[in-house]
Amino acid sequence: MKIWVDADACPVVIKDILFRAAERRGIEMTLVANQPLRVPPSKFISSLQVSAGFDVADSEIAQRTNAGDLVITSDIHLASLVLEKGGFALSPRGEKYSPDSIKSRLNMRDFLETLRASGINSGGPPPLNQQDRKNFADHLDRVLSRHGRPA
């Protein structure tokens, strides 16, 4: 298993949880973003800077992900691609995407996108709170306990 992080929009507190988990379990983790990232010195943690552009980081992650890898993303479309390849996907809020739930999430994303395109402000997600952090850490631990073997 390798962990891939859609790092452009991943909150710092979630990255910190991921850094500790990768180091503790000896699992390779790559943060992908279109800007330079700081990562702690570790033989397990690296970053990959991609060119700027819409969905460039997502495309890179989707291309490099293998079956059994874990992707951290809030992008529903990327999560869907990862699941199709036999990987695991987890949102920074701790929602584990599954083949059963991804279709309804894609439909909701498309619906909200249509609303925004027609000028209706659907608002954004609420700020990350302590419960979200706990949910993320709990789900990450479960996925890594069941499937996380060093690459």
Residue with token string 């709990």:
138
Confidence at residue 120, expressed as pLDDT on a 0 to 100 scale: 75
Confidence at residue 53, expressed as pLDDT on a 0 to 100 scale: 85
Secondary structure class of 40 (helix, strand, coil): coil
Confidence at residue 60, expressed as pLDDT on a 0 to 100 scale: 96
Confidence at residue 101, expressed as pLDDT on a 0 to 100 scale: 81
Reading the chain (151 residues) residue by residue, the pLDDT tens digits are 999 999 988 999 999 999 999 999 999 999 999 999 999 999 999 999 999 888 899 999 999 999 999 999 989 889 999 999 999 999 999 988 988 887 766 666 666 677 667 777 766 677 889 999 999 999 999 999 998 776 5
Residues near 128 by Cβ (< 8 Å), separated by ≥ 6?
Answer: 11, 13, 14, 92, 93
Q: If one looks up domain 3-147 in CATH, what number appears? A: 3.40.50
Secondary structure class of 119 (helix, strand, coil): coil
For residue 79, the tally of other CB atoms under 10 A from its CB is: 29
Cα separation, 134 vs 139, whole angstroms? 9
Residue with token string 């199709």:
84
Task: Write out the two tokens for 109.
Answer: 């994303």
Cα separation, 90 vs 129, whole angstroms? 17
Task: Write out the two tokens for 148.
Answer: 């996380």
Confidence at residue 11, expressed as pLDDT on a 0 to 100 scale: 94
Task: Write out the two tokens for 133.
Answer: 């952090």
Confidence at residue 33, expressed as pLDDT on a 0 to 100 scale: 96
